[in-house]
Amino acid sequence: MNAVKAAVPKSEPRHHTARITQMLDGVIKHLREDISKISEPKAQALFETSAEVLIGLRTAFQHYEAGTEEGLRR
């Protein structure tokens, strides 16, 4: 992220997508860590499902950055 941040101007979308991707990584990690800290199965399922949804969103951001998703190509 720091290399992208330094090399890409703030007006460039990749500056922002890299930051959001980093934030999503943090939330995904937090959700997964909290699953073992709670005992209610429904809450555990909610946290796991949330992590999986965010992984999909992170992947969409990564595809945009890489230009690999045809619908998201610049």
Q: Identify which of 19, 10, 24, 11 has the alpha carbon closest to the alpha carbon of residue 57.
A: 24
pLDDT at 68 over 90: no
- Check if the beta carbon of residue 61 is closer than 8 Å to that of residue 21: yes
21 pLDDT above the threshold of 60: yes
What's phi and psi for 37, nearest 5 deg?
-95, -10
pTM: 0.78
Confidence of residue 2 (pLDDT cuts 50, 70, 90): low
Query: Using 50, 70 and 90 to split pLDDT, how confident is the model at 9?
Result: confident
Would you state the pLDDT for residue 48? 98
Domain boundaries defined on the chain: 14-67
